[in-house]
Amino acid sequence: MFELQDNSLQLYPQGEHISDSSRFQSVRVSILGRYMLADYSEYPCQIIEMSPGEAKIIAPVSGTLEMRIVAYLDTIGRIDGKIISVFEGGFIISFLASARKRDKIAAQLTWLANKDILGLDDERDSGRFVPDFRHSKIVLDDGREYNCKLLDISISGAAIELSVRPAMGSMVTLGRMQAKIIRHFENGIGVQFSSTQEMLSIVQQNLRLD
């Protein structure tokens, strides 16, 4: 039911959006948070495995099967779910979430899984977040254009999923933002914007396709 797929950076099977949570892939994580049971009691918790559809939680009080809970997790935010399995010291929940919310969780988990590959330290990570929209366009310095997927953004740069590998140091246009390629990773690239923006809302506006 909750199978761990080691070293998996693609959280959905390629080309699919899955509605059956048992088919999601999961990654090892260490995410702290708090959860609230049906009786409104609150406790601290730690997520040790997570996918876009389920989470394995270490917790002091487990609750009961089918009980609905609300969890507030660092990096991820609010999660609504129901308990589908109970074990000593914790439980597994299945998320009660829309397809859009699961997409956003997948992007956040992809970022966590890729963090070491990207070589980002905690200070840089703290200023990054997954945007409300995922798709943008990149134009290379030779004029070639590609659709791309935003993994995360900050006021100074972005990580994007891209099938090609532009040369390190080359200049590109991402949405309406001028940027420089500063790193490659397994399924994409990291870029640094030519000018740092004051607000993330401005970055999002400039990266939208419309």
Tokens matching residue 46: 């730690």
pLDDT of residue 209: 65
Domain at 119-207, CATH homologous superfamily: predicted glycosyltransferase like domains (2.40.10.220)
Q: What are phi and psi of 193, to 5 degrees?
A: -70, 145
Distance from CA of residue 12 to its chain's centroid?
12
pLDDT computed for residue 119 by the predictor: 52
Domain ranges of the chain: 21-103, 119-207
In the prediction, which pLDDT does 145 show?
Answer: 94
- Does the fold of domain 119-207 match that of domain 21-103? yes
User: How high is the pLDDT of residue 122?
Assistant: 44
What's the token pair of residue 118? 């990207």
Q: What is the pLDDT along the chain (210 residues), one digit of tens a residue?
A: 333 333 334 444 333 333 344 456 788 888 888 899 989 888 999 999 999 999 999 999 988 999 999 998 877 888 999 999 999 999 999 999 888 888 888 877 877 766 655 555 444 444 567 776 788 999 999 999 999 998 888 878 888 999 899 999 999 999 988 999 988 887 889 898 887 665 666 777 778 766
For residue 179 the two structure tokens come to 């940027």
**CATH homologous superfamily for 21-103?**
predicted glycosyltransferase like domains (2.40.10.220)
Q: Is the Cβ–Cβ distance between 44 and 60 less than 8 Å? A: yes
Q: What DSSP string runs through 5-50? A: -TT----SPTT---S-GGG--BEEEEEEEEEE-TTS-EEEEEEEEE
